[in-house]
Amino acid sequence: MSAAPDLAPTGCRAALTAADRDEVFAIRRTVFVAEQSLFEGSDLDDRDDDPTTIHVVGTVGGITAGTVRLYPLRPGHPEGDWQGDRLAVLPGFRSSGLGAPLVRFAVATAGELGGARMIAHVQMPNEMFFRRLGWARVGAPEIYVGQPHLLMEIDLQAARTAS
């Protein structure tokens, strides 16, 4: 994979096609299975096929380079709590700044759908990144997918009025 082009524009959109989903799953496999060894073989789970789950494609200079997924914690109740997870940016594109637009897109989408709050289990080195985006830590570190993570949250309606 080549390095991200300097100052290339980033973009985010919902994954709508089978090809989009294939790219999303390939990015997640590269980051969470091959690079970080958080999962063996695959990180796919029941959420991936749930019709309420929204998979997001992130691009840098037109190249698909990142993803995040989001979903309501109570299916059929988008006005409640949402979860964001599987935030991943390919190694060669991490300096592109794509991570922040992916998180902002997830927050804005859940807020537009009536969500009240979004939570995420965040790898500990990424706490400050999320804090800069308006997220707050909830409680002590916890073990999530076998590794220490922090539970973090953001008020979706407050984030909506701030943007």
pLDDT in tens, 104-147: 999 999 999 999 999 999 999 999 999 999 999 999 999 988 89
pLDDT in tens, 66-110: 999 999 999 888 899 999 999 999 999 999 999 999 999 999 999
Under DSSP, the state recorded for 129 is H
Quote the pTM value.
0.92
pLDDT in tens, 4-58: 455 578 999 999 999 999 999 999 999 999 999 999 999 999 999 999 999 999 9
pLDDT at position 1 over 90: no
**Cβ neighbours for 127, distance < 8 A, ≥ 6 positions apart:** 137, 150, 152
pLDDT at position 2 over 70: no
Superfamily of domain 10-116 in CATH is Gcn5-related N-acetyltransferase (GNAT) (3.40.630.30)
- Give residue 5's pLDDT: 52
d(CA 66, CA 60) in angstroms, rounded, equals 9
pLDDT band at 160 (very low <50, low <70, confident <90, very high): confident
Please report, for the chain, the start and end positions of each structural domain, with discontinuous segments joined by +. 10-116
CB 55 within 8 A of CB 21: yes
pLDDT in tens, 43-71: 999 999 999 999 999 999 999 999 999 99
**Cβ neighbours for 98, distance < 8 A, ≥ 6 positions apart:** 4, 10, 58, 59, 60, 65, 66, 89
